[in-house]
Structure 1
Amino acid sequence: MAEPHLIGEAMTGGYGRGADILHGCTLSVDKGEIAVIVGPNGAGKSTAMKAVFGMLNLRSGSVRIGGEDITHLSPQDRVAKGMAFVPQTSNIFPSMTVEENLEMGAFLRRDDIRPTIEQVYDLFPILRDKRRQAAGELSGGQRQQVAVGRALMTQPSVLMLDEPTAGVSPIVMDELFDRIIEVARAGITILMVEQNARQALEIADTGYVLVQGANAYTGTGAELMADDEVRRTFLGG
């Protein structure tokens, strides 16, 4: 069996010298597939995502991308290895225009970034229309599109999204999920945390239910949706 493109394996750790939040948590996702992390509030979902991105110290476990161990790399070095992370909040430069935000996403690149900007505009046409507008003036859904677009400017092999549909309307949520599917079809691996668990599992190749920083249930999105216990406990029946 080939190793998944991204794997955080048996991760245990927390912030600084505080107590462990993750307890042997494992997350993996194959190339071009979508893995979704769901679970109750305080389950460690965002912490698990940050652990994969190198934002907290693991006391045990490892993180690998494309078979390479990156456990001890900084977040900046992980970006250079092909990771892009979109946090839930403070994920745009509000005073900069949409296009300036996208250009900031390409800060590590030394090649021509115009074709990638055009790809982002093709994915999110509204951003082309608003490219000269300050990003902070946009709607919540449009700001999320800027944040995802800026992450894509690094030409990542892995895109990590923390609550991408938080605070947006159901129509905008469906549209964002459609765009996420498009990104995955282009061969980019996606790992995301999502509060809208039922809708997220509908698009997930793999789903992880975390409880108290540990794996409680793992399966395909369809398997988790069909599991009576998961439905009753985590999906509202």
Structure 2
Amino acid sequence: MKYLTAENMTGGYGGADILHSCTITVEEGEIAVIVGPNGAGKSTAMKAVFGMLPLREGRVTLGGEDITHLTPQDRVRAGMGFVPQTNNVFASMTVQENLEMGAYIREDDFADTMAQVFDLFPILKEKRNQPAGELSGGQRQQVAVGRALMTRPKLLMLDEPTAGVSPIVMDELFDRILEVAATGIAILMVEQNARQALNIADHGFVLVQGQNRFTDTGAALMADPDVRKSFLGG
């Protein structure tokens, strides 16, 4: 059984369904990416996994436990960490205060986790006393990921982590994501940069109009001529 299994997810925001029997799975220590054209339902699928979208059909299990009816807050306590695409830092708070906010559910000493985040993102240690709103876009993304890691998630979900950053910063973020996965944390990521994302992915899910169109390993999807032609620019 996969660590995360979100199967046959069907639902929307009150009107017509956006997701249609969509299934997403991730194993511990694995990177899974959701790609597809604009309007394919990628971010909606991520929100459904996190409990921000009520499902009309389907279910979500985490570590073998059915969490379909848990609130997002309770899913965080169950082991999910979620980094939204926008508005993902407290701009007026310092970098360190942002990270401390990520430890709000913890009652133990989180100093070791803070040190691990600073090891992963050395620039954050350097700028720990600087307001997050003064950082570059790539640095703010590091703060957002670091804050999610402070909860000690078993599953880290990233919605468009490289949106609006330069290619160099994108490569650096992907390197850090690989490092996080190497610690055994499952990674689920929505990405517009499909080619680069599939290049680091263990598995990929290509969505079209809220449905699974292709599901395979990242390498197999990169090599599939239909995927390449339709979604990777040839």
What code does the residue aligned with 1:128 have? Answer: K
The aligned counterpart of 1:214 is 211
**Among 62, 67, 78, the residue aligned to 1:65:** 62
The aligned counterpart of 2:32 is 35
- Equivalent pairs counted in the alignment come to 234
Counterpart secondary structure, 1:57: coil
Distance 1:24 1:124 in 2: 38
Question: RMSD of the TM alignment (CA)?
Answer: 0.4
Tell me the percent identity.
Answer: 76
The aligned counterpart of 1:205 is 202
Q: After the TM superposition, which residues 105-116 of structure 1 pair with which residues of structure 2 at under 5 Å, given as runs? A: 105-116=102-113
The aligned counterpart of 2:11 is 13
**Among 64, 82, 88, the residue aligned to 1:91:** 88
Structure 1 residue 186 corresponds to structure 2 residue 186: no
Distance 1:57 1:181 in 2: 31
The aligned counterpart of 2:162 is 165
Q: After the TM superposition, which residues 42-61 of structure 1 pair with which residues of structure 2 at under 5 Å, given as runs? A: 42-61=39-58
The aligned counterpart of 1:230 is 227
Q: 1:212, CA displacement in angstroms?
A: 0.2
Return the TM-score normalized by structure 2.
1.00
Q: 1:19, CA displacement in angstroms?
A: 1.0
Distance 2:12 2:188 in 1: 20
Q: 1:210, CA displacement in angstroms?
A: 0.0
The aligned counterpart of 1:23 is 20
Counterpart secondary structure, 2:233: coil
Q: 1:163, CA displacement in angstroms?
A: 0.1
The aligned counterpart of 1:153 is 150
Q: After TM superposition, which residue ranges in structure 1, 4 or more long, deviate above 4 angstroms? A: none
Show structure 2 runs of 5+ residues with no match: none
**Among 96, 100, 112, the residue aligned to 1:103:** 100
The aligned counterpart of 1:144 is 141
Show structure 1 runs of 5+ residues with no match: none
**Among 174, 177, 200, the residue aligned to 2:174:** 177
Q: 1:18, CA displacement in angstroms?
A: 1.4
Counterpart secondary structure, 1:118: helix
Q: 1:111, CA displacement in angstroms?
A: 0.3
What code does the residue aligned with 2:8 have? Answer: A
Distance 2:199 2:193 in 1: 10
Counterpart secondary structure, 2:55: strand
What code does the residue aligned with 1:133 have? Answer: Q
Distance 1:67 1:185 in 2: 22
Distance 1:33 1:173 in 2: 19
Distance 2:5 2:78 in 1: 14
